Amino acid sequence: MSRPVTARVPAKVNVQLAVGGLRPDGFHDLANVFLAVGLHDEVTAAPADALRITVEGADAAQVPLDRTNLAARAALALAERHGIEPGVHLHIAKDIPVAGGMAGGSADAAGALLACDALWGTRATRAELLEICADLGSDIPFSLVGGVALGRGRGELLTPLETGGTFHWVFAVADGGLSTPAVYRECDRLREESGAGANAADVPAPEPSQALLDALRTGDATALAAAVSNDLQPAALSLRPALADTLRAGADAGALASLVSGSGPTCAFLAKDVEAAQGVATALAASGTCRTVRVTSGPVPGAGLVDA
């Protein structure tokens, strides 16, 4: 009998999320600059007769335990490719907010893939793992790769980026999640409403910001703060207007930058250093505008196996 295997996978924040027009396949072309941060989920794969999922953590009740769970889908995809039975018990220890815009579900998929590959001895190549990730979801390849990367296409075509330092972040976790497809739909609706149009022909092709790439390369938090942007933010705010209060509370507390993380509703705040981050966190916690506050830093490495 094989021993259980555990993978540890980071959350992400998008320091730039430039969203192009709606494509015929229902996705949007992106210039998506991901940065992995030090909040992690752990996925343990243990031998079992059939696929089973259990979850622990503050948000565990919101995580589906059936085959709609991305971790289950990742295990099934790997088993199918290698012609084996997907007998595995996946246990997810969740620390990344659920449906929070921080790629928690993507992290669990990447973790399940790595852990099952080790448990089953399927020895998938890195390219194969990345292909399975991309098939399952646009953000999942980044959960595997970590660090900082530019995602093109729908976000799955990654180019790793150089960074010159560590950035200090505060995350304000909201009550309840936001559905990613609903936020993209709202982005399209707002574009239609403005008269500009929402289709690929109406919206300029998304491009990475040179100022942002320079700030990442030099590790300059002030320059990064001036360059961060998220095209999904107006849509997240439209669906959840109270997030404006959270963003304002962080800005008032001295954050260098305040933005919605991905499709939200988690809000991300960039701080000058770890002391400034603690100050922003204390003020946010006292503001009553969010459920929980987390302080962390990044970039951190992507998914990896934890030594037993």
Residues that bind ligand C5P (CB under 6 A): 26-28, 30, 137-139, 154-155, 180-181, 184
Q: Which residues of 226-261 are buried (b: 16+ CB within 10 A; e: fewer)?
A: ebbbbbbbbbbbebbeebeebbebbeebebbbbbbb
| Pick 141 or 250: Cβ nearer ligand C5P | 141
Nearer to ligand C5P, 100 or 137 (CB): 137
237 DSSP 8-state letter: H
In angstroms, the Cα distances linking 4 to 7, 260, 261 are 10, 37, 33
The residue behind tokens 């180019």 is 159
What 3-state DSSP class applies to 122? coil
Q: Give me the least distance between CB of 105 and ligand C5P, in Å please.
A: 8
Q: Indicate if 139 belongs to the active site.
A: yes
The catalytic residue among 29, 41, 139, 188 is 139
Taking the complex as a whole, the smallest distance from the CB of residue 168 to ligand C5P amounts, in Å, to 27
Q: Which is nearer to ligand C5P, 181 or 195 (CB)?
A: 181
Residue 66 CB, shortest distance to ligand C5P, in Å, is 17
Annotation-wise, does 121 bind a ligand?
no
C-alpha triplet 173, 176, 177: angle, nearest 5° = 85
Smallest distance from ligand C5P to CB 23, Å: 8
- How many Cα neighbours within 13 Å face the side chain of 114? 26
Compute the distance between CA of residue 234 and CA of residue 230 in angstroms, rounded to an integer: 8
Task: Identify whether 273 is a catalytic site residue.
Answer: no
Q: Residue 181 annotated as binding?
A: no
Residue closer to ligand C5P by CB (options 42, 231) is 231
Q: Which residues are catalytic?
A: 12, 139
Binding-site residue positions: 97-107
Binding-site residue positions for ATP: 97-107
